[in-house]
Every structure is written in structure tokens, then in C-alpha cells.
Amino acid sequence: MFENFLTAITIAFLVLYFPRLIGWFGWIFPQKKLTCEKKHRFALIVPARDEGRAVLPLFESLRGQSYGTGTDRMFDTYVVVKNPRDEVIDYAREIGAKVYVDEEQKSKGDCLDYCIRHILAAGKKYDGYIIVDADCRLDADFLKNMNDALASGAQVITGRKLVENYTMGYLNSGSKKVVNAITCQNGLVWSIIDELGNRYKSALGLTTMPITSGILIRGDLVEEWGGWNYRQTLTEDMELLRDCACRGIKTFHYSYAELYLEEAPSHVDTNRRRTRWMSGMVAADRLYCGRLLSRHGIWAFVDNYYILSLWLVYAYIGTLSAAVIFNLITLRIWQAAAAFLLIYTAFFALSVMAVLADWKNIRLSWVKKLGLMLIHPFFYMEYIFIVGRAVLGIKPKSWEKIGRVQY
């Protein structure tokens, strides 16, 4: 009887989730390269609250951009801090960046709103606004490729996110490894978002997931907003995604615009970030669900499916998790083991695809990559508790600072 139940819900899940599973294979097909003849002028915004020396790799990569530097400068850099005595201010001025101090910021959305409003009030005119987190490093051709991506006609464009820790080697501090089990496990999220999601959705013209680091927003759209409108949750990018869908704003993912994101070296910091993400994602769905579902037409239905398909995963994994707990309480060990095995298998399939999609960028031996595939499902099982708390409305009370690699 219980085996029939497991079989039934698994078949139902696979049927309902099948269109999303197809998207897992989008990375196999190379994306078409674009060329834009016009050189656009960009404002590059860096939220840098209490980041310290973590900003230095980013600032160094800005100096090395192949696009519009020197006398032919085509981008201006704006750095936003909270503390007027933040050491980041001196580093920013060394690269000629304009610094804004927003002492009232309570979220990244507040920080972006403060910066954009001041830029617009100063009468500055830009073709695009690029947002980059302070702990990132840009590929030398990042801005050039973002400029080319504007040939897509999209108003919101995301770049390809890679894990910076693999490129760091051993830092002078030597106190902590920059590549460890936690950084490897959580680093797969970028492959899942971009290679197993955004590549396919972008090819079909569906709304992509616009993580607000390494993202370009066209200037006319920012001017229409008059600031940054997404500040109701701690995940401004999840609000942006859903509003783009509701307003018909075209999004695009360009895999050739590469940037490197630093993974927090500790499990505690990683879970803080994951908790913030999932709380914000659930909150954003609550805010926008009514507007999303009020859209009409087949294409809107398909777009909504991809935006909300995670709820199919929540329902399936949640049901299996409840079955595990119930059977453990009633001492039905084999039934609990069967349900647990299905959870592991689902996450293992995801892990294998994520590692294969990011194979060249994961700088580990093939043996360690195999270990990563095998262990990653257990890491992802922690989302069961994280999502459960988010669904119950238990969320972070503030925009917590995440630990960085010490330079």
C-alpha cells in the first residue's frame, strides 16, 4: 500500500515537472554569440556595506576591463556604503569611483534605491545600469559582452555566474581554505540557476531568474522606475523577476558575460544566505502570485509554470519528508528508508546535472567531482528545513552580514 503511494506521487511529480526537467539540458547547446555595434555607457553600482578588503579583487578587475577604459571610458563606478568611516571608501576613490553613504539602508534594495535616485538627481544619463556585489570579480570581457548582449533587445540581462573560490589558490592569511566542502556544495547553485535554468528559459523567451549581481538593467527602464522599486523583501531579485513577468519586461541571460562570485567558507554563513534567499522567494511569491495568475494566454501560463515550478518540488519533497517522519515515529523503518531514498535520488539527479554542466569550471579531480555529486544531495536536504521555516513565515529579521574570505 505504502509502495503504491510512493509510486503514484513520484509518477505525478515527474509528469508535472517534466517540462522543467527538459530545461536541465539547456547547457548542452552553445548559446549564439551576439554583437552590438554601438558602445553603450554604463553606470556600475557596487553595494559594499562593511566589505573591507573583499572589494579589492572586484576593483582590480574593473581596472582590467577591455571595454571603454582609459580616455575612452564608457562606464562610471558608484560604490554605496553604510558607515561614513568604512575603509572601502578609500579603496573606491583609488579607482575613481563615486561613493555614496547611505546610513539608513536596511536591505540591498534600499542601497540600490539610494544610489539610483542620487544618480538620476544629478542629471546623469546612462544606457544601462550594472549591479555587481562587492565580493565578485569580473572577467576582463564582462562589460564588452554585456554591451553585446543589448543586441538581444532585452531590458534586463544577467551574466554567467561562476565560483571564485576555485581561482583563489592559497591566500596569504592561510587561516582557512578558500575551497572546502561547503564552498563546493553551495557553489553548484549558480550552475543550477544559470546552466540548468536561465539558458533554456532565455532561449524560449521566458522570464529568466535575474540575480542582482552581474545584472544589467537598461537605462530607460531605470529612468521609468525613478529608483529601485523592489524593497518589500530581503530578496530584491525575486521581486524583480516576478514584476518583469507581470509587466512584460523582456529578460535575457548571456552566458558569455562571466563573473566570479565568492562562496562563504563556513556552513553557518552559507545557511544564513540560503535562509534569506528562500524566505525572500516565498515572500515574493505571496506578493505577486495574484498578479501572475491573473495574466491571460498560453504564453503567460507557460511563463508562470517556470516561475512557480519550485512549488512542485516543495510539494513532492515535503510529502516524502512527512512520510519519512511518520514512518520513523511508527517504527516502519523500511518504509521510511524508501521515502528517504526517493528524496536522495531526486537531489542526486540534480547534482549530477549541475556538476556536468559546470565540469570545466569546477577545478577538482574527477574523484572529488564524483564525491561532490554523492554528497551534494545531503547538503540540499537542508533546504527541507529552510523552506519549511519560510513557508511558516519564519524569516530573518534583518539584512545579515555574510562572512567573507579574509584577504
Specify the pLDDT at position 236: 92
Do residues 202 and 252 lie in contact, with contact meaning Cβ atoms separated by under 8 Å?
A: yes
Task: Please name every residue paired with 99 in a beta bridge, in sequence order, or none if there are none.
Answer: 79
Closest CA to 21 of 313, 378, 304: 313
C-beta atoms surrounding 5 within 10 Å: 13
Q: Which residues of the chain have pLDDT under 50?
A: 172-173, 175
Question: The pTM is what?
Answer: 0.92
Residue 376 main-chain phi, psi, to 5 deg: -55, -35
Closest CA to 184 of 57, 270, 273: 270
Over residues 255-280, the pLDDT tens digits come to: 999 999 988 878 888 888 898 889 98
CATH 3.90.550.10 fits 1-407, yes or no: yes
Task: Report the distance separating Cα 173 and Cα 82, nearest Å.
Answer: 27
Task: Report the distance separating Cα 36 and Cα 199, nearest Å.
Answer: 20
Specify the pLDDT at position 19: 96
Do residues 230 and 239 lie in contact, with contact meaning Cβ atoms separated by under 8 Å?
A: yes
Do residues 3 and 36 lie in contact, with contact meaning Cβ atoms separated by under 8 Å?
A: no
What does each C-alpha distance from 178 to 153, 156, 157, 181, 192 come to in angstroms?
38, 32, 29, 10, 21
Helices (H) then strands (E): counts for the chain: 15, 8
* Crossing angle for the helix pair 333-357 and 181-193, to the nearest 10 degrees: 70
Specify the pLDDT at position 103: 86
Over residues 94-114, the pLDDT tens digits come to: 999 999 998 888 889 999 999
Specify the pLDDT at position 390: 87
Question: Which residue shows C-alpha cell 554528497?
Answer: 375
Q: How many residues does the chain have?
A: 407
Task: Report the distance separating Cα 383 and Cα 274, nearest Å.
Answer: 8
For 132, the grid coordinates are 555587481
Specify the pLDDT at position 172: 47
Domain spans of the chain? 1-407
Task: Report the distance separating Cα 308 and Cα 19, nearest Å.
Answer: 12
Which ranges constitute the DSSP H helices of 2-151?
Answer: 2-23, 56-63, 88-94, 108-121, 142-149
